[in-house]
Amino acid sequence: MDETGVKTKVQRKNSELFNNTKLGKQICHICSEKGKMQSCIVCNKASCSMHSMIVGIQNPNRICDECFREETLKSMSSINNLHEQLSNEISTLADKRNSNTQTLNKSSGKIRNLQKELQDKEAYYQKKIEDLKAKIESTKAKTSSDLKALPEIQKETLNIEMQTEMTKKKLSEVNVNLITAKAEVEIMVKERTSLFAELNEVTDFVRSQVPVKLLKQIICNPCYQQVRHAFVQMFRLIVPIKDEVKAANIKSAPNRKGVCTNCTTF
């Protein structure tokens, strides 16, 4: 038992009257021996010098063996509790250290992966920067060549503009000619329409002047029935107009006597 614990007990009981008190010829409460006894600072009971001890070097007060044993057991129990508490804390810290170690290992792996990825990206972007620089240089060279060729391009542009103006003039002339041609075509269409009208009139006149009954004398009966329903072209091939009927009959009679002029059958 340490000196501080003993002092705490002394202060708790406020037993300053019993400090350094020497009892003469009392009985030891442990061995029942009579003689010069000392008072225990804890229980205030008389105890002999064999069953008591000095509290400390600087403290002449004494404590009996029973109180010393009890205090020692209490101290040991507190030490055991402290030891158990320290063991628990140590195990907790060990578990925490293991978890931190695992977390650190995972973080280290992630850091290594990130470093590798960073290196790959740095190499990729470095290559990309070099490619962009090369493109910029080629663009600059092309731009300089284009600037050199710019006067020729401007000259060609002027020539193209002049050709465009000439083409526009020619197109305007062509448009004028086209308008004239359209007017002439309209006139020709009108003339064609009038000619068709005259032709229809002539056709109607010819159709009305053809002597269909006279055809019965020079063609057979079946052909005559067909001729009655045929067109004007068929009439022209078979007989001439009204004024030439007699002349045609006179010319064809000696050579084709008894023959149908349409089907050439007897």
The CATH number for 56's domain is 3.30.40
- Has residue 259 been placed in a domain? yes
Range of the domain at 259: 210-266
- Has residue 31 been placed in a domain? yes
Residue 86 has pLDDT above 90, yes or no: no
- pTM for the model: 0.27
| pLDDT, tens digit (0-9, with 9 covering 90-100), for 226-244 | 766 664 444 444 444 444 4
- Has residue 231 been placed in a domain? yes
Q: Is 34 left (phi over 0), alpha (psi -120 to 50) or beta?
A: beta
Which among 57, 73, 89 is the end of a domain? 73
Average pLDDT of 158-182? Answer: 91
- Has residue 218 been placed in a domain? yes
- Has residue 182 been placed in a domain? no
| pLDDT, tens digit (0-9, with 9 covering 90-100), for 107-144 | 888 899 999 999 999 999 999 999 999 999 998 888 88
* pLDDT-based confidence at residue 207 (cuts at 50, 70, 90): low
- Has residue 239 been placed in a domain? yes
- Has residue 235 been placed in a domain? yes
How high is the pLDDT of residue 178? 92
- Has residue 133 been placed in a domain? no
Which among 53, 73, 93 is the end of a domain? 73
Which among 73, 96, 111 is the end of a domain? 73
Quote the number of domains for the chain. Answer: 2
* pLDDT-based confidence at residue 13 (cuts at 50, 70, 90): very low
